[in-house]
Structure 1
Amino acid sequence: MTLLLSPGLAQAGIALLELLHRRPLSAQELLSGLPKVGGMSSTSALSLAEDLAWLDINETGQLKVSAAGLKVHNAEGYEAALRFILLHYVETQNPDWLQNAVYGRSRVLNFCPVGVHQVFVEAGLAGAPNDEAVDFWDWLAGIARGLQRDHLLTIGRAGERLTLIHEEARTGAKPRWVAVDSNQDGYDVLSVRAADDRAFLSIEVKSSRGGTSGTLHLTRHEWEIALDRPLHLFHLWDLSCAPPRLATVGMDEMGAHIPTDAGAGGWESVEVPFKAFESLFGPALL
């Protein structure tokens, strides 16, 4: 369960760091001797500090401030401390609202919980932008893009694994997982035409957890590689059902959705809906 951050909890965490910086305490000493820290329960403040990796334990079993906690403690002012807290919060908790950062701060402020929104306000990140605030939002968007890429990579790898299984069942030959070695080849799996025909067959794999409401993105590089290959197919995996469904798409079917250059302009990537190939989806050999 994601930690519910708020200004009050953040202030309690700052107070706890100040306390432990002056005098290390064991968790038991803290909880039994100080019912509240910074206006919040010591239990809540301690949970925040543990979740955000602000604490270490010394050789006598007492809590001390970690390197991450020192960044908050040593911050120059309240706003700076809150920004470090937000940084540690998104890095350790990966909250659902973080994905909105790729679209700009207004999306984050509209979709994050009320308590988190107020932390952004008190951290000086919701008003007129200055260089420091812009740097923070750019950093947040970078984190979100990285998570988005990780998510897309996970979906893509799932489809590639399914193609490996399908192709081995179809041909009796173990295909090569090209994409693991290099993502510059322009295709993901190298198989063969058939059990009795060992001519090489290259396959570009696209996957969606949204069923036929999903889309595939094809780059110009991937299409040009496909055109140069003697035998090439596209595997589209619908991961929204069990077992997954496969559409095997040939060059002609995919080519019908590829744009053309015009004038001085040239296309770099194209988005094609899975539903364009609805009639090709069927059970896979798994």
Structure 2
Amino acid sequence: MTPPSLDRCFSMAAFLAFVELRQFLSRHPSLPFSEALDSVKRLKTGASGLDFHAAVTLSSELDQDLPWDSTKKGLRLFVYEWVRLVQPNWLRRVPNGREYVRTALTTDEAQCFREAGLFEHSPDDDAIAWWDKIAALIRGAVDAEKMERARLAERLSLQHEKQRLASLGIEREPKWMSLEDNNLGYDILSFDVSDGLVVSRLIEVKSTLSDTIILTRGEWNNAVSAPTRTVFHVWRLPVQSLIEIPVAAMASHIPQDSGNGVWRDVAVTLSAADC
């Protein structure tokens, strides 16, 4: 029988079978895994209600050196490790609150959360810390997705510039500068023609899933330091459509410092004129 995938091993029956198996193996370290599995099935009272099929998968996927036991703490560890490895769709609901997560869980998943005390009306400090760790997972996933979109946009700009340079008859290759040095203040070094001469073209690349981008003070300062040579490439994803905005056009969206207030980041919503 083919072992189930890890995403089908999230249940109390799987967790308890896994703990029984791990504890038996810790007491009999020289026993082959298959023999240990058969022994636990034979000796454990109530074994028929446990999911040892899923426990085999958990044994191959979970870190065996962690302190596995059937306590509430052990169950919280199991839920966390499963979520960390599987990254279920409902993980994105965590920043919105526990109730948003609760409504997205399956019956088996919800039982694990309840038994672990993670939905208690007045959670203990350990449960609160657990939720904070889970929230950190989604922040990491979101950051990874943002970086993936940013790199896609930069690749699209690089390809766009290769085609543009070829159409202009410029025998130069654009360079993916942010890949080599992310402190330069621009992402792509390309070229243009001005008064018959080939000049550099500095491109700051942005991606958006809507019509809004975030521009930092540092990015803007770099752009205005070379306003005639800098351009913003804004890629709408996933359709991969490009909006090219010169510094002069972007300037109308930039706030001014006032009194003791200094702007650091600005959300720029692109208008039809920008497009």
TM-score (norm 2): 0.81
Preserved CA contact (<8 Å) 1:214 1:273: yes
State the match for 1:26 in structure 2: 33
Preserved CA contact (<8 Å) 1:261 1:267: yes
> Using the alignment, how far apart are the partners of 1:27 and 1:21 within structure 2?
14
Whose radius of gyration is greater, 1 or 2?
2
Could you tell me which of 146, 153, 173 is aligned with 2:147? Answer: 153
Structure 1 counterpart of 2:177, which letter? Answer: V
**Superposition deviation, residue 158 in structure 1:** 0.6
**Superposition deviation, residue 67 in structure 1:** 1.6
> Using the alignment, how far apart are the partners of 2:83 and 2:232 within structure 1?
37
Preserved CA contact (<8 Å) 1:215 1:271: yes
Deviation per CA, 1:224-281, whole angstroms, max 9, x where unpaired?
211112411111112323xx3211111232222222333332322122335x25763x
1:15-94 equivalences in 2 (<5 Å): 15-23=20-28, 24-27=31-34, 30=37, 34=41, 37=47, 39-50=49-60, 52-54=61-63, 66-68=64-66, 71-73=67-69, 78-94=71-87
State the match for 1:199 in structure 2: 199
Residues 1:101 and 1:29: Cα distance change in structure 2 (over 3 Å)? same
> Using the alignment, how far apart are the partners of 1:49 and 1:25 within structure 2?
13
Please tell me whether residue 185 in structure 1 is matched to residue 184 in structure 2.
yes
Preserved CA contact (<8 Å) 1:179 1:187: yes
Structure 2 counterpart of 1:18, which letter? Answer: Q
**What stretches of structure 2 of length at least 5 have no aligned partner?**
none
| Alignment size in residue pairs | 257
**Superposition deviation, residue 214 in structure 1:** 4.5
RMSD between aligned residues: 2.8
> Using the alignment, how far apart are the partners of 1:38 and 1:134 within structure 2?
35
Preserved CA contact (<8 Å) 1:192 1:201: yes
Preserved CA contact (<8 Å) 1:15 1:38: no
TM-score (norm 1): 0.78
> Using the alignment, how far apart are the partners of 2:223 and 2:197 within structure 1?
20
Residues 1:27 and 1:135: Cα distance change in structure 2 (over 3 Å)? same
Could you tell me which of 202, 216, 220 is aligned with 1:219? Answer: 216
**What stretches of structure 1 of length at least 5 have no aligned partner?**
55-65, 281-286
Residues 1:268 and 1:279: Cα distance change in structure 2 (over 3 Å)? closer
Deviation per CA, 1:53-95, whole angstroms, max 9, x where unpaired?
34xxxxxxxxxxx324xx214xxx6111012102211222121
